[in-house]
Amino acid sequence: MTKRVILVVLDSVGIGAMPDAADYGDEGSNTLSNIAGQLGRDLKLPNLIDLGISNIEGVKYLPKKSNPYGAYGRAAEISAGKDTTTGHWEISGVTLDNAFPTYLSGFPEIIIAEFEKEAGTHVLGNKPASGTEIIKELGDVHVKTGYPIVYTSADSVFQIAAHEDIISLEKLYEMCETARNILTGEHGVGRVIARPFNGSSGNYKRTEGRKDYSLKPLKPTMLDFIKSAGLEVKGIGKIEDIFAGEGLTDSVHTTNNRDGMNQIITYMKESFEGLIFANLVDFDMLYGHRNDVEGYAKALEEFDCKVPFIKEAMRSEDILIITADHGCDPTTPSTDHSREYIPIIVYGQNISCINIGTRHSFSDIGKTICDLLGINAPIKGDSFKNLIIG
């Protein structure tokens, strides 16, 4: 029986528009393939190709592997939405019939008024915007007045930006907790996000003190069932934030993808049974939302270079699963997430090197992980354990 699963989410590395992508304004999106096709040079992912990523249906412009070392396939999303929380929750067995609310005209006055009252401050902004652009636009006014910048996007987020010299990180986090307590029920956005920055006029730059405040999952997830079985659940990166701390036995936040990859290996060197669950956010945050094709490509190549080290750290009864949570195609005019299939790559000593096809739901991943760990978890999803274990 499998003793440990290492689940790595490459945040936003989608592999092709889903059939309903046009409903989300995402027709033609294919994050991985469009990067490979429009990069202007070869996208060098030899280790992921060896594991089968280029053999997955919908992946183009990467050379096929005749005999991949891993099992491979893709998964469709059945939840409404295309955001980080929705994707991770569905991977873990919780699906949403209704998408989290979005505010493309800014938040209602009743919400802003309550926040200003509880936080004891006026706010600037209250509109959809790029995080880097809004601090260019309102950074000077913020520094002069001390008022935090509130903004949103096409995702279900309430974001608060503040200069660290004007509003301390501790105070900014308190403001986010205030907003999280207000934004419930019909206004229950998926995440409240602290967005600190520093620098001077014309040179403001976001810092690494970002913190997400998610809703608690609506029902028990894969994490809860693994923890309840007496196994360890180690979260890396945004995982603690995405699941509001639920179902974890240990967690560590990271500063960037490189740190996240190193933390994966650090946990792998420990002796325990259960799950390592990592999110690598730079693909999405630094490159997808900024339509930086070259930056995204380099981040993919950097991860690919780390794959052999992750494989080397694996024990005989470990299984590695690499996937994503949505798309964020940097080649399209949109800077928002895209409604895409996600890749599934499975590697381990006893894994059959086969195509597992298109899975009905992201939740198949969570169901399979529980099945591999010998846990009969009552979550949505169809296990593909019997396909990959010969």
- What domains can you pick out in the chain, each with its CATH number? 4-96+218-388 (3.40.720.10), 109-214 (3.30.70.1250)
The whole-number average pLDDT for the span 26-33 is: 97
pLDDT tops 80 at residue 1: no
Confidence of residue 155 (pLDDT cuts 50, 70, 90): confident
- CA dist., res. 258 & res. 235, Å (int): 16
pLDDT of 266 reads: 98
pLDDT of 154 reads: 81
pLDDT of 208 reads: 85
Angle among Cα 95, 98, 102 to the nearest 5 degrees reads 120
- CA dist., res. 124 & res. 226, Å (int): 43
What three-state secondary structure class fits 170? helix
- CA dist., res. 300 & res. 43, Å (int): 9
Q: Work out the mean pLDDT of the chain and round it to a whole number.
A: 96
Confidence of residue 5 (pLDDT cuts 50, 70, 90): very high
The whole-number average pLDDT for the span 267-288 is: 96
pLDDT of 109 reads: 96
Confidence of residue 380 (pLDDT cuts 50, 70, 90): confident
The whole-number average pLDDT for the span 168-194 is: 96
- CA dist., res. 76 & res. 93, Å (int): 13
pLDDT of 312 reads: 97
The whole-number average pLDDT for the span 363-367 is: 98
pLDDT of 373 reads: 97
Q: What is residue 42's DSSP assignment?
A: -
Chain centre distance of CA 343: 13
pLDDT of 15 reads: 98
Buried b (16+ CB within 10 A) or exposed e, 21-52: beebebeebbbbbbbbeeeeeebebebbbbbb
Percent of the chain topping pLDDT 70: 99
- CA dist., res. 194 & res. 209, Å (int): 8
Confidence of residue 99 (pLDDT cuts 50, 70, 90): confident
Percent of the chain topping pLDDT 90: 93
* Cβ within 8 Å of residue 203, ≥6 positions away: none
pLDDT of 98 reads: 87
- CA dist., res. 334 & res. 290, Å (int): 9
Q: Is the pTM of this model over 0.85?
A: yes
pLDDT of 316 reads: 94
pLDDT tops 90 at residue 390: no
pLDDT of 263 reads: 98
Confidence of residue 25 (pLDDT cuts 50, 70, 90): very high
Question: Bridge-partner residues for 252, per DSSP?
Answer: 236
The whole-number average pLDDT for the span 43-66 is: 97
Who wins on pLDDT, 218 or 11?
A: 11
